[in-house]
A and B are shown apart, each in its own frame.
Chain A
Amino acid sequence: MAEVKLVDVSKIYEEKNKAVSSFSLEIKDKEFVVLVGPSGCGKSTTLRMIAGLEDISEGEIFIDGRKVNNVPPKDRDIAMVFQNYALYPHMSVYENMAFGLKLRKFSKSEINERVSYAAKILDIEYLLERKPKQLSGGQRQRVAVGRAIVRKPKVFLFDEPLSNLDAKLRVQMRSEIARLHKRLQTTIVYVTHDQVEAMTMGDRIVVMKEGIVQQVDTPLNLYNHPKNKFVAGFIGSPAMNFVEGKIVSEDGLKFVSSQGTLTFQLNPKQSEILSSYRDKKITVGIRPESFSAETKYESSVKTKLEFEEQMGNEVYLHFNVDGKSCIARMHPDVQYKIGDEINVGFNNFAVLFFDNAAGERIC
């Protein structure tokens, strides 16, 4: 139903300090876009500018081709679900959902129909007469979503809607919102600080840091081809391991970590790209899941097992590389004891190289 376009949008709250800088993004019709990043990186600010709750300091926002910089929230045809649900405490669930329709002068029968429909999809029909304080967190969440969908808006905005729920409910609501998106076929902009939520829900993900967009891509591309060290470290759990070192030539090119704990031969493709980095400082990134206990890989690191976290379906091994803690994620059956000398292999095709100064990925 609607595209949202942001062109060089910035937000300046106080002088000098940019909460959001030059944010540009084209959100396609029916797309589910997730803004993700650590707390304070400007996700909410961006969302609130789209909603019209915050003035746009610089740049332009278009909804369905119409520039909305000076359009008040009520005329943008957008609905928003807030982190704390923001249900009207003095109104029943029914009235909460009907409020926006009443203000927009819908007929009684139309209001009734829409509220009933939304209540049915969200399975909250039996709650309609209750007040918000008589609801559990999960139920409030549903009502908040219901209040948004009755208006059939062009765009849905979600600001960390699941962060007040317990872990189990969060997983359940996650899939429910994803299903709702399929069913309603609307454009969704969803804000979260949780990369798992972002990866599982988004068609495309916008990774932000300190007000600046780091990368916009599909979940899989973010995982496999992160643009820089920040994105690489932010996406994936447990986080990617980073080891500093340099490229030396010794029977071809080789990576040697600063204290020499980790060394491995570069493959031909890496050698070609990294030839100009010879004797320069560089950081490598290895995902915990790239490690393996099997000895099929040529590259490996010899180290001591510090401790392990058994998950049942997998085990996280913590070990030391150059004095920094690294994690390997392995099959739960591996038999190591704490303090053991271990030899963890890894596929050097899965290793990423980052420029030490800028943090950009080289290859």
Chain B
Amino acid sequence: MKKSLVIFIAVFVGVITFLPFLWMISASVMPSGAANTFPPRIFPNKFDFSHYTTLFTRLNLTKYLLNSMIISFGVTLFSLLLNSMAGYAFAKFRFAKKKGLFKFLLSSLIIPAQVTMLPLFLILKNLGLINTYWAIFIPGMASIFGIFLIRQYAFSIPDSLIEAAKMDGATEMQIYLRVILPLCKPILVTLGLFTFMGTWNDFLWPLIVMTDANMYTMPVALANLMSEHVQDTELMMAGSVITIIPVLVVFLALQKYYIKGIMMGSVKG
């Protein structure tokens, strides 16, 4: 009795959550104007894929999709590399002022991102990096949260493992690449997923640093479309579907590891 109630609520919430998503997909394949009829319909009575063709031909979405891909993969790779190195170092290396430095880094978490945006923009501008991928790569390279996450995880790796590798003849780099990274896989996947989704969906920062239309990312390009084609709901929905698909693919592909990562984190703290 109790169980069926739980299931009912879960299904109900699931349906409610899924409904807008479903409508987005079905509206994207409705003929122009069909999405705005009253009463609203959930399923299209006629399939029309012309919006997708329009996006990729007339509106040149391929370029933006490519920009988003490069930026998201780039930021994810750079940040995984640097965060894992830093997190590992903070967890396992002995160096002067380690604790103080880490506390300093942590304390900078309380500064809201918006506060740093203007100075960051000015710095990048002076470096001549505005309207290049580096304007997004560089600020995304290291994240305090990522370092923290990996540090916590790396604590659970026994010192003797690292020492065994040293005795086995591994250099510091080999220890990092062949022992630490493989062992950190679950947390790296989790962090990578967060970073990828965050970067892909980010709107404000790309809007600020990518003033050239050729450098727009998907969300920025989409927002631009929206102001031009306010009435064309079906076209907007098709754009949204395209935006969501890569994130969805990445998430589903890594889901197995991702859940493992979260579970491990909770056990090993």
**A interface residues, Cβ below 8 angstroms from B:** 51-53, 72-74, 78-80, 82-84, 86-90, 99-100, 103-104, 147, 151
CA distance A100 to B166 in the complex (A): 9
Q: Chain A's nearest CB lies how many Å from the CB of B156?
A: 11
Report yes or no: A100 in contact with B169, Cβ–Cβ below 8 A: yes
* Cα–Cα, bound, A351→B178 (Å): 59
**Cβ-defined contact, A147 with B168, below 8 A:** yes
What CA separation (Å) do A80 and B185 show in the bound complex? 27
Contacting pair B168 A100 (CB below 8 A): yes
Q: How far is the CA of A86 from the CA of B182 in the complex (A)?
A: 15
Bitwise, B163-189 to A at CB < 8 A (1) or not (0) is 111111111001000110011010000
A147 to B166, CA, bound (A): 13
- List the B residue with the shortest CB-CB distance to A103: B169
Is B158 a contact partner of A79 (Cβ separation < 8 A)? no
Tell me whether B164 and A86 are in contact (CB under 8 A).
yes
The verdict on A103 contacting B163 (CB below 8 Å), with A84-B158, A86-B158, A90-B183 known, is no
Q: Which residues of B contact A147 (CB under 8 A)?
A: 164, 168
- Could you tell me the dominant secondary structure of chain B's interface residues? helix
Contacts A82-B160, A84-B160; is A103 near B170 (CB within 8 Å)?
A: yes
The reply on B161 being an interface residue by CB < 8 A is: yes
Residues in B with CB closer than 8 Å to A104 are 169
Q: By DSSP majority rule, is chain A's interface helix, strand, loop, or mixed?
A: loop
| Count: A-B pairs, CB below 8 Å | 56
Residues of A within 8 A of B158 (CB): 84, 86
Residues of B127-179 at the interface with A, using a CB-CB cut-off of 8 Å, are 158, 160-161, 163-171, 174, 178-179
Interchain CB contact under 8 A, B161 and A74: no
Distance from B18 Cβ to chain A, minimum over Cβ atoms (Å): 38
- Chain B residue numbers with a CB within 8 Å of A90 are 182-183, 185
Are B167 and A51 in contact, with the CB atoms below 8 A? yes
Report whether A86 and B174 are in contact in the complex, using a CB–CB cutoff of 8 Å: no
From A74, A84, A89, A99, B183 is in contact (CB under 8 Å) with: A89
- A52 neighbours in B (Cβ, 8 Å): 166
* Beta-carbon nearest neighbor of B182 in chain A: A90
Docked Cα-Cα span, A305 to B171, in Å, equals 63
Binary interface profile of B, 79-94, with partner A (CB < 8 Å = 1, else 0)? 0000000000000000
* Candidates B161, B163, B167, B169; contact of A88 at CB < 8 Å: B161
Chain B residues in 8 Å Cβ range of A84:
158, 160
Chain A residues with Cβ below 8 Å from B170 are: 74, 99, 103
Residue pair B164, A82 in contact (C-beta under 8 Å) = yes
The answer to whether B167 touches A80 (Cβ under 8 A) is yes
Asked whether A86 and B160 contact (CB < 8 A) given A99-B168, A100-B168, A103-B169, the answer is yes
Q: How far is the CA of A90 from the CA of B177 in the complex (A)?
A: 13
Contact A103 B168 (CB under 8 A): yes
Distance of A103 Cα from B177 Cα, bound (Å):
12
Min CB distance, B154 to chain A, in Å?
A: 14
Interface digits, B208-222 against A, CB 8 Å rule (1 contact, 0 not)? 000000000000000
User: Which residues on the A side are within 8 Å of B171 (C-beta)?
Assistant: 74
CB neighbours (8 Å) of A151 from chain B are 168
Beta-carbon contact of A80 and B164 below 8 Å: yes
Least CB distance, B129 to chain A, in whole angstroms: 38
Whole-angstrom CA separation of A99 from B171 in the bound complex: 13
